[in-house]
Homo-oligomer: A and B are copies of this chain.
Amino acid sequence: MKKIVIVGGVAGGATAAARLRRLSEQYEIVMFERGEYISFANCGLPYYIGEVITDRKKLLVQTVEGMSKRFRLDIRNFSEVTAIHRDRKTVSVKNVQTGEEYEETYDILLLSPGAKPIVPPIPGIEEAKALFTLRNVPDTDKIKAYVDEQKPKHAIVIGGGFIGIEMAENLVERGVNVTLIERSNQVMAPIDYEMAAIVHAHMQEHGVQLILEDGVQAFEHNGRRIILTSGRVLEADMIILAIGVQPESQLAKEAGLELGIRGTIKVNEHLQTSDPNIYAIGDAIEVKNYIHGFETFVPLAWPANRQGRLVADHIHGLDVKYNGTLGTAIAKVFDLTVAATGNNEKTLKQLGIPYEVVHTHPMSHASYYPNAQQMTLKLIFDKETGNIYGAQAVGKDGVDKRIDVIATAIKGGLTVRELPDLELAYAPPFSSAKDPVNMAGYVASNIIDGMAETVQWHEIDDIVANGGFLIDVRTPGEVAHRAIRGAVNIPLDELRERLSELPKDKTIYVTCQVGLRGYLATRILQENGFAAKNLDGGYKLYASVFGAK
């Protein structure tokens, strides 16, 4: 009778425990959790603070009592594992309520300790009174009580990742004025800058003051005053510190287990640490990127749950492995949905991997059916093989669906050439006969086939400044409204008759609203002997970065 000891009763740990019991009634399973609660709704915490989720009990997905009973588990909460004794296969455990300490033996040890908010040693941080981080239910209770009782007028959120953004939104929902400070030039690292630009504008429309490319230098007046790196000074009634998380790998480190990047616990494809009797899963481990295989740190719920299942199977003797993390991620940001899967441009650039990009602006469903909403969809791929490297989407309805379809296509080994062949469900309330994913596949295929050449939003200003010839093929009415400086207006439907106005000796750059008419124009131009390149994503993408010019 194997005895399995699990450290950490949230997400992956709880998943593994339940699966182990389903696999066998024979195992002795002990699960230690330092806090009071196991298996709570991590991802729901900001929404309870925002009173979107109103019933606190809903956060407690499984109770110690309920889960113990159902799965015949020995769950010990308030129990911190303080040391691993690999030589004698025991762990030291401390009851954080009573102070009692003891050793517990294991045959197999599973570490699922998670990750904790990074709290840097910024001057004054110790004295900051209303400075919060958000990881668990007690953190949530503290923040919510503060908002309920102190009724703060102004909050500073430090960090523009998922938690920072969700907290900003939920504090706004509570009537708090929110300023969000982010060190880099964009929020939400999984997406690229031009996609984040849409999110920036949307957050500002909803009253969030965004301060990018700035950090915190010091806290003063018990955290009431914040001095930014730029010298700027802000006042606040409360501060949410959400600059990121770090793996809880101290226990593993002290036990001499091999560590990976950024302090993660290193595991093999079976989720075993350098000690084969000790497994590790969840936010604390190093994973391989699914597409390019590099080591990475992806503290998200899906991988934790998947690993929890697989680790149980492997402990049980099944031949399974974890294939790496794609990094599919999604967030609601007020009325927007922002989602991504696979690698972004920033990552590919760092890795030195060549790639091609297309941006489209499809409608969520048939435009003639009510409430169709435009999204921006970005597809990143290998121009040689057509392999899909990643996708990003920002919009309202239907963003999650398209990212999920592309994530599935990646796992199915489909190339961008095969995306048009995806037979997706069409009726007017749900999609178009050519779904946005089909269309993105067509656009990408055209590039691979040499049917279309494009330039990107960040290239066109330089091109025009250096004497490049740019035509805008929208109607005069559209162009009068706003356009890229220096563009010559030749409406698409007049282009064939006005070819004589174009220089034969240089590349014609073309722009339109979303990129479609520009593509049609470049086809006409190429077929008439011109070199032509289309501004990918059209004026709409350009303007979402640079604003109207």
A residues apposed to B, CB below 8 Å:
11, 21-26, 41, 43-44, 47, 52-53, 58-59, 61, 69-70, 72, 162, 290, 300-306, 309, 323, 325-332, 337, 339, 341, 366-370, 400-401, 403-405, 407-409, 411-414, 418, 420-431, 433-435, 438, 442, 451, 492-493, 496, 519-520, 523-524, 527-528
Contact = CB atoms under 8 A, between A and B. Distances in A.
B70 A493 contact: yes
B328 A425 contact: yes
Contact of A429 (B332, B341, B411, B421): B332
B400 A422 contact: no
Contact of A430 (B330, B411, B435, B519): B330
B433 A301 contact: yes
A293 to B, nearest CB: 15
11 contacts: A41-B368, A52-B369, A53-B369, A302-B433, A328-B424, A330-B430, A407-B424, A407-B425, A408-B424, A411-B414, A412-B412
Contacts of A434: 305
Contacts of A61: 368
Residue from A11, A329, A404, A438 having most chain B Cβ neighbours under 10 A: A404
A413 B492 CA distance: 41
Contacts of A70: 492-493, 520
- Say how many copies of this protein the assembly contains: 2
Nearest to A413: B412
Contacts of A428: 41, 43-44, 47
A158 to B, nearest CB: 21
A420 B411 CA distance: 11
A25 B526 CA distance: 9
Residue from A61, A323, A421, A438 having most chain B Cβ neighbours under 10 A: A421
Nearest to A43: B428
Contacts of A326: 423
Residue from A325, A328, A422 having most chain B Cβ neighbours under 10 A: A422
A72 B492 CA distance: 12
Given A23-B451, A44-B366, A341-B425, 6 more contacts: A21-B523, A306-B423, A330-B430, A332-B429, A408-B414, A411-B423
A428 B423 CA distance: 28
Contact of A405 (B290, B323, B405): B405
A127 to B, nearest CB: 34
Nearest to A305: B433
A500 to B, nearest CB: 16
A420 B309 contact: yes
Contacts of A424: 302, 328, 404, 407-408
Nearest to A527: B25
Nearest to A318: B449
A182 to B, nearest CB: 19
A426 B43 contact: yes
A426 B325 contact: no
A433 to B, nearest CB: 4
Contact of A341 (B23, B403, B423, B451): B423
A407 B304 CA distance: 26
Given A368-B58, A370-B52, A430-B337, A418 B411 contact: yes
B11 A426 contact: no
Nearest to A59: B368
The 3 closest A-B pairs by CB, nearest first: A412-B412, A330-B425, A25-B527
Given A369-B44, A492-B70, A408 B422 contact: yes
Contacts of A302: 423-424, 426, 433
